[in-house]
Amino acid sequence: MSLLSQLFFLILLGVSAFFIGRRILQIRKNILLGKEEDRTDQPQRRLKTMLLVAFGQKKMFKRPIAAFLHLLIYVGFLLINLEVLEIVLDGLFGTHRLFAPLLGSFYPVLINFFEFLVVGVIFSCVVFLIRRHVLKISRFTKIEMKGWPTMDATLILVIELVLMVAILAMNGADQVLQTKAVAGYPVTGAFFFSSIFIPLFEPLSANTLIIIERVAWWGHIAGIFAFAYYITYSKHLHIFLAFPNTYFSNLKEKGEIKNMDNVTNEVKSMLGLPADPPPAEIPRFGAKDINDLSWKHLMDAYACTECGRCTDSCPANTTGKVLSPRTIMMKTRDRAEEVGESIRKGGAGLEDGKSLYGDYINKEELLACTTCNACVEACPITIDPLSIIIEMRRYMAMEESSTPQSWNAMFQNVETSFAPWKFPPTDRFNWAQDVKAKISDQ
């Protein structure tokens, strides 16, 4: 029996690892559809940013209540994995509570600690469900959240709840089995929270309890594998990508818009300054599709958990314009997924007649941005929707020449009068007349 279950466990583990691994490689490929960008300078500062922002949750605390609840789930996620390690090893070796004899009297302390975390996770998931479905907090009910995004969020919370309840049921049944001195269930001592199941389980027969314990055990671990696979299709991928995403984040001042070196080259040639020879292939100016963005933009998109803090703080969005920084990230990911899936199936990929700009994100959204950096500031994992917006504006201005008439007028003023307003450049110093010392006075 044990050998059979060990074999079954091994198959389950192998199949899960295969599917999850395949999906991870696919996401990696999708992200690498983006252009190169060097984000490897200042490794120490990058590591520090990652430790503070992702590991330390620093930016979450701008909203203390959400941050506290999130912290409970986060710490639970990090630490309960130790118990999952024991479960995996038990599954492989056909043992039960492998760590119990190794850890001795510390074992029940540890399990009790995990149970506290489990209850913390359950509490947070319930409050999060209430916030989304009863209180209907505005950033969770905006237009871009209709349908799948809300379903995704709900599923995640419900699955987490089920997984946590399975741990408690497993431990509860285990405790009763211990008192009944059933073989294979070594005495570990009492567990604090799962003991609430004891009155419920006590009257049941040993066989029934073993079934309950095994169902909960298999349910928990199979659920974790399934969830891990599901996550790769979900906004919940942030639990992994938050770490590299903060590591590779922009370390420069937020106000700096990245220079376009290919333009520099052309401008230098126009001004008769020494410049590199022009490239054989004319580069695209700005971004029309995901391959014009950098890999970091695409990683941002996959790391986004759709919390909506960006959109909530966006001045354009809060005053009713169609721009939503969260939508920019969601659409970018949708497009990367679409293109990646098409390539995987041997389809048209990027040449499918669609593009990120136009089919997913429209001009009106892009034009509404004030480049104020509120979205960048708000993001708990340093996602930068603004630089995607700027790249698409560049496409609009330099490839399509479709900027609004009033901007074209501004461009023309800058070109001919050297100011965005149409004033004669010779009047630029007139302001000084009122305050300037008269030459004759000297």
Partner 1 sequence: MSDFNIQIPTVAELTAKGEKPDVLFWVGCAGSFDDRYKKVTKAFVKILDKVGVKFAVLGEEETCTGDPARRAGNEFLFQMQAMANIQVLNGYEITKIVTACPHCFNTLKNEYPALGGDYEVVHHSTYLQELIDQGKVTAKEGDFKGKKITFHDSCYLGRANNIYEAPRKVLEILDAELVEMKRCKTNGLCCGAGGAQMFKEPENGKKDINIERTEEALDTGAEIIASGCPFCMTMMSDGVKNKEKEGQVVVKDLAELIAEAEDLI
Q: Which of 99, 91, 101 is nearest to 2 (CA)?
A: 91
Tokens for 409? 């007028």
Find the shortest distance in angstroms from Cβ 316 to partner 1: 7
Residues 56-75 binding partner 1 (CB under 8 A) are 62
Residues 395-414 binding partner 1 (CB under 8 A) are 395-398, 403-404, 406-407, 409-411, 414
Tokens for 279? 């490239």
Q: How long is the chain?
A: 442
Please identify, using beta-carbon distances, which residue of 13 and 367 lies nearer to partner 1.
367
Please identify, using beta-carbon distances, which residue of 300 and 312 lies nearer to partner 1.
312
Residues 6+ apart with CB under 8 A from 288: 355, 356, 357, 358, 392, 395, 399
Find the shortest distance in angstroms from Cβ 310 to partner 1: 13
Q: Which of 155, 125, 336 is nearest to 234 (CA)?
A: 155
Cβ-contact 295, 406 below 8 angstroms: no
Which range, of 82-90, 181-189, 202-210, 415-423, touches partner 1 by CB under 8 A? 415-423
Number of residues that bind partner 1 (CB under 8 A): 74
Residues 132-161 binding partner 1 (CB under 8 A) are none
- In sign, the C-alpha dihedral spanning 167, 171, 174, 176 is negative
Find the shortest distance in angstroms from Cβ 273 to partner 1: 8
Alpha-carbon radius of gyration of the chain: 29
Find the shortest distance in angstroms from Cβ 432 to partner 1: 5
Please identify, using beta-carbon distances, which residue of 3 and 437 lies nearer to partner 1.
437
User: What x-and-dash track marks residues 15-54 binding partner 1 by CB under 8 A?
Assistant: ----------------------------------------
Q: Which residue has the tokens 């409050």?
A: 127
Find the shortest distance in angstroms from Cβ 270 to partner 1: 8
**Rounded to whole angstroms, how far apart are CA atoms 37 and 297?**
10
**420 binds partner 1 per the rule CB under 8 A:** yes
Please identify, using beta-carbon distances, which residue of 94 and 315 lies nearer to partner 1.
315
**Rounded to whole angstroms, how far apart are CA atoms 41 and 68?**
33
Residues 290-329 binding partner 1 (CB under 8 A) are 313, 315-316, 318-323
Residues 255-284 binding partner 1 (CB under 8 A) are 255-257, 259-260, 263-264, 266-268, 270-271, 273
**Rounded to whole angstroms, how far apart are CA atoms 393 and 258?**
13
Please identify, using beta-carbon distances, which residue of 345 and 438 lies nearer to partner 1.
438
Tokens for 283? 């580069």
Residues 167-186 binding partner 1 (CB under 8 A) are none
Residues 356-375 binding partner 1 (CB under 8 A) are 364, 367-374
Cβ-contact 192, 114 below 8 angstroms: no
Could you tell me how far CA 274 lies from the centroid of its own chain?
A: 43
